[in-house]
Structure formats: structure tokens, C-alpha cells
Amino acid sequence: MTIEQILADIKSGRRKKVILDTDAYNEIDDQYALTYCYLADSIDLQAVYAVPFHNDKSTGFEDGMVKSYEEIKKVLNMIDPDYTTPVFEGSRTTIEVSGGPVDSPAARNLIEVVKNSDEIVYVLAIGAITNVSSALMMDPSIKDNMAVIWLGGNQIEGDNLGEFNLVQDFTAGQILLNSGVPLLLCPAWFIVSVLTTNIELTRDLMGYNKVCNYLAGITEQTWRDAGENPSWVRTIWDIAAPAILDNPDCAEIEIIPTPIFTDQRIYAFDSTRHKMMYLKSINREKVFDATWKILKSLKDK
């Protein structure tokens, strides 16, 4: 499929095969995105992968991945105690550190799912891109039957690439943009960063079901940790990825030549490079309306 055909498919509203690649323990927004993916009728969730991360919530990349793996299973069990969606451990280090593809159950499963699929597989990547880029290095042919929606980097008009998902494994980001895999890049600053919640909106989820209570609880705890400021807001940008597939009219997307993540950690541009999709803007109200409706629709078993 051409990039134009994939964009048309994204906008079509048909039910799509999806893999979620998430650093679920790192933040509070991955849990919202995971719940959205599991519950949305338009998403056929094939698998969920744990992504490595390293910050003050982990002792290292491997620890971050393992904690994310456990968090994924914890959230899925709250959504549906009988869930059958496979969950796979991802990379235990990064491509930047290892110097090559990082073999993992997640990377191997991605190759298997894509090669055995009779339709395009959408990978919603909401963490470091290590698992996905490793799979593309291990078997470059999979790029012909998959597309990646990645929340990574910042807007191309700026000169700051210091965004968390990208800097966790900058080399993996470079590999992704050079791989030729169909890509929708969703930058952080001034684009998906508009997806902010507040304490009033969060508390609106309480009482609907176990996972709503959990999501509201972890968000309220973050508010308390931040000092209980009444004007507090929190970006939960990861819900952009499933929302774009489930409600494509929430997103303004353009097709551009794929930029380059240079070793100097700035963008470079070459009009002759392969094309990619780029998220220009996203409608906050449409995304939250869809997300909250889906979250509240769940009835506990």
C-alpha cells in the first residue's frame, strides 16, 4: 500500500488489526490508551508489548520493561478477568546501548503477526521505539504489511528533539525513520500535548467500573503528589494513538517527505526521501469525548 492508501485506510473507520507497544509503568496515560484499545469496537487488538524505559520509576531499561509488562497484565485483568489478548515482554536494553537489534518475544511476535496477516497491521507505539525498530532490523520485509503510529519527537518546526520516547532510544528512532515503514509521526510539543486532563474531568470517571476507578485513582494521586493545585492539568497524550484509528476525524494529518533525526539531535530535511504521515493537530474535545465514552461503557464482570 502507498502512504496515500494507508492514510485513506486510517480515515475509513473500518475495524483494524492493532498491536499496542507501551511503556505502561512509566506514566499514567498508557493505562488509558490500553483500555481504549481493548474496548474500542474499531480496534482488533492482536497483542500488547512491554517497552523498556529508564527514569526515576525504574532501575534500568530491563526493570522498566518488566514493570510495564506487569502493569499491562494488571490493567487487562481489571478490564476483563477473562482476557485472552497475548502480552509479550519486550527489549531488555536499547538499540543505542546494544549497537544492534534487540531480540525479544515482542519483536519476534511482531514479525510473526505481520507476516501471517491478510491485512495491514497497525502498531500503536507509545514509548521508546526499540521493539518495533528491532523487528524491522530482524526482518525488513515486514514493513510491507504494517504501519506505525508513533508518539515520538517534537514538532518539525522546532529545533528540540528532547522528547522522552525518542531520547530513550534515539538510535531506534533514527532506524524507524530510515526504514521505509509507513509511519504516522505524532509529535509532542504543541500537538498531542493539548490532550490534558484535570482533577474534575478525572473524577468524572469514578464509580463506572474497576478500571475507571483505577485510572481516576492513579491520576488523582499524581495530582496530590503535585500539591493539589485546583488549576492542575496533566497531559495524557497516549490516548491520541487509539483515538486516531477509532475517530479519525479528530486528527489533521498531512503527507510529507520523511525528515531525518541527525546525530546532532535536530531535524534535517531532504525532499527526495520517502513519504510519511505527520500529525499537524488533534482535537482535544473529540478525543476526550470518545475516550471517556468508551471507558464508561465497560460493565464489570
Q: What is the pLDDT of residues 101-138, one digit of tens each?
A: 999 999 999 999 999 999 999 999 999 999 999 999 99
Q: Are 149 and 244 a contacting pair, CB within 8 Å? A: yes
Mind listing the pLDDT tens digit for each residue in 149-203?
999 999 998 888 999 999 999 999 999 999 999 999 999 999 999 999 999 999 9
Query: How large is the average pLDDT for residues 223-245?
Result: 96
Give me the CATH topology for the region 3-297. Inosine-uridine Nucleoside N-ribohydrolase; Chain A (3.90.245)
Beta bridge partners of 147: 122
Would you list the domain boundaries of the chain? 3-297
Going by their DSSP bridges, the two strands 183-186 and 146-151 should be labelled as: parallel
Please give the pLDDT value at position 158.
Answer: 83
pLDDT at residue 256 greater than cutoff 90: yes
> What is each CA distance from 287 to 58, 152, 221, 225, 254, in whole angstroms?
30, 19, 23, 26, 19
Please give the pLDDT value at position 301.
Answer: 87
Half-sphere exposure of 145 (CA within 13 A, CB side): 15
Query: How large is the average pLDDT for residues 246-250?
Result: 96
Beta bridge partners of 267: 261
Residue appearing with cell numbers 532501575: 59
75-100 burial: b if 16+ Cβ within 10 Å, else e: bbebbeeebebebbbbbbbbbbebee
Query: How large is the average pLDDT for residues 249-269?
Result: 96
Q: Are 172 and 94 a contacting pair, CB within 8 Å? A: yes
Mind listing the pLDDT tens digit for each residue in 6-55?
999 999 989 999 999 999 999 999 999 999 999 999 999 999 999 999 99
Please give the pLDDT value at position 160.
Answer: 86
Q: Are 75 and 32 a contacting pair, CB within 8 Å? A: no
From 52, 73, 59, 75, select the one nearest 132 (Cα to Cα).
Answer: 52
Distance, in Å, from the CA atom of 284 to the CA atom of 187, rounded to the nearest integer, reads 15
Query: 82 falls in which pLDDT band (50, 70, 90)?
Result: very high
Q: Is the dihedral of CA 182, 186, 187, 191 positive or negative?
A: positive
C-alpha cell at 37: 484499545
Please give the pLDDT value at position 90.
Answer: 98
pLDDT at residue 300 greater than cutoff 90: yes
What DSSP designation does 249 have? G
Mind listing the pLDDT tens digit for each residue in 83-96?
999 999 999 999 99
C-alpha cell at 197: 486532563
Query: CA 25 from chain center: how many Å?
Result: 13
The mean predicted confidence, pLDDT, of the chain is: 97
